[in-house]
């Protein structure tokens, strides 16, 4: 039996990377997938096609999570067409690195607006629907660096640490209405960037990971699918580290 049969899921930043893997995993579990994208409609449509090949229904929806008006419009469309949102995965995010003393106001604000404010805007909009339904699952994607810090990533780390705090506050606010809010903190996940690293650099990173391997998008997706399922009905306000032991 598919765990998410009949559920409607919105995955922000679902057109590629970890977001795409999350869409596919939720599709495997039977959910209807709304694949959010900001600019790359073609990639989002590719994700839709992959979800459909897994036997699920899916649609692409474009809106910028950093713009609250666009978020509200997007959620209104989903409500009109699907009638509800059972699962929200706040995955959309950007990274702009730089030492703090050289980080511009614009770069700082962009990262905070997308990663933290975007998660809040989407949770606020979908939370209103979930509260009326007295049910729902919100899963925020943070990062291991939001827990442990990282040089040269002050904006990114701050935004992801903020997502952890947001998770805990929303969990307490929404719990009386039957809504759970949890957070996944990925560690070092295999991407095109890690594939391009030379062996010496890869080994340096791997030396800090007790399990001795990088994670995959599928590792994150399976954790999200668990938190979105009824198997996690008594779990809320929790931070699930999927990092191979990099941070304990």
Q: Which residues are catalytic?
A: 156
C-alpha to C-alpha distances, 9 to 97, 179, 182, nearest whole angstrom: 31, 14, 15
How many helices (H) and strands (E) are present in the chain, helices listed first? 10, 7
Q: Kindly give the pairing relationship between strand 8-11 and strand 136-141.
A: unpaired
Strand partners, 8: 32
Cβ neighbour number for residue 247 with a 10 Å cutoff: 16
Chain center to CA of 153: 19
Q: Which of helix, strand or coil describes residue 176? A: helix
């Amino acid at each position: 039996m598919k765990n998410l049969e009949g559920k409607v899921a919105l995955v922000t930043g679902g057109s590629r990377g970890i977001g795409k893997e999350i869409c596919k995993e939720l599709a495997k579990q039977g959910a209807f997938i709304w694949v959010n994208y900001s600019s790359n409609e073609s990639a989002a449509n590719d994700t839709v096609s992959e979800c459909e090949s897994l036997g699920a229904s899916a649609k692409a929806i474009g809106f910028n999570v950093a713009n609250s008006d666009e978020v509200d419009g997007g959620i209104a469309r989903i409500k009109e067409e699907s009638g509800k949102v059972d699962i929200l995965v706040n995955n959309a995010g950007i990274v702009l690195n730089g030492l703090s003393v050289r980080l511009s106001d614009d770069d700082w604000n962009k990262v905070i607006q997308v990663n933290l404010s975007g998660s809040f805007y989407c949770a606020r909009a979908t939370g209103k629907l979930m509260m009326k339904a007295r049910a729902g699952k919100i899963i925020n994607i943070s990062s291991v660096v939001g827990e442990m810090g990282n040089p040269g990533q002050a904006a990114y780390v701050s935004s992801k640490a903020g997502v952890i705090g947001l998770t805990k506050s929303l969990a307490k606010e929404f719990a009386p209405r039957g809504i759970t809010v949890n957070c996944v903190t990925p560690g070092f996940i295999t991407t095109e960037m890690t594939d391009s690293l030379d062996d010496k650099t890869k080994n340096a990173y791997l030396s800090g990971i007790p399990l001795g391997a990088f994670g995959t998008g599928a590792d994150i997706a399976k954790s999200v699918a668990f938190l979105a399922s009824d198997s996690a009905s008594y779990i809320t306000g929790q931070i699930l580290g999927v990092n191979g032991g990099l941070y304990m």
